[in-house]
Amino acid sequence: MKAELRARFRGARGQARGEAAEAARERLLALPELASARVVAFYRAIGDEVPVETIAERCRAGGARTVYPVVAGPELDLGVAVEAVDLFVVPGVLFDRAGWRLGRGGGHYDRLLGRRRPGALAVGICYADRVVDELPHDPWDVAMDVVVSDLATLRFGA
């Protein structure tokens, strides 16, 4: 089922994304955890992912260090110890209303987030049409703590 969902949504594009992307970025910027983070892991957007480089620039201007994952075999390498990261901004093909994420299928982010220190936040960002009611998930999948879209901020857990 995950493969079917990926195939259906991976290449799909919504309507014009400019205003929606800006609204999603504004919701991300409004997170108090982002404002207090000293080390933030971002991503370089591909396909229909929300571009986050302007947010990374603002974090750097505020004194935070930004890191970007690079695929190194089965793992993502950040260039710093994963335990040093305070907040991870995570892309996805889809997210659900319980915080589960459907990625591109390599499991890279699940392995990376599984190694984060307690208290480090995983924040998914997407367009509102990429938030669904429920996604299938496996025992090794890692749920998001927060998902932001152009229309909502969803928080999960305690």
Largest CA distance in the chain: 42
Minimal CA–CA distance to 107: which of 58, 153, 71, 154?
71
Given a cut of 60, whether residue 16 has pLDDT beyond it is: no
Cα 126 from Cα 124, distance rounded (Å): 7
Distance of CA 80 to the CA centre of its chain: 18
The pLDDT value recorded for residue 95 is 97
The pLDDT value recorded for residue 15 is 44
User: Across all residues in the chain, what is the average pLDDT?
Assistant: 91
Please tell me the least confidently modeled range out of 1-10, 69-78, 134-143: 1-10
Cα 15 from Cα 116, distance rounded (Å): 35
CATH of 2-155, one of 3.40.50.10420, 3.40.50.360, 3.50.50.60, 1.10.3720.10: 3.40.50.10420
The pLDDT value recorded for residue 117 is 96
Q: Calculate mean pLDDT across residues 137-156.
A: 96
The pLDDT value recorded for residue 106 is 82
The domain locations on the chain are 2-155
The pLDDT value recorded for residue 47 is 83
Cα 147 from Cα 156, distance rounded (Å): 9
Given a cut of 60, whether residue 156 has pLDDT beyond it is: yes
pLDDT tens readout for residues 126-142? 999 999 999 999 999 99
The pLDDT value recorded for residue 60 is 98
Q: Calculate mean pLDDT across residues 80-90.
A: 97
The pLDDT value recorded for residue 17 is 76
Q: Are 151 and 24 in contact (CB under 8 A)?
A: no
pLDDT tens readout for residues 21-72? 999 999 999 999 999 999 999 999 988 899 999 999 999 999 999 999 999 8
DSSP 85-115: -SEEEE--SEEETTS-EE-SSS-HHHHHHHT
Outline where 14-98 has alpha helix (H).
18-29, 32-36, 53-61
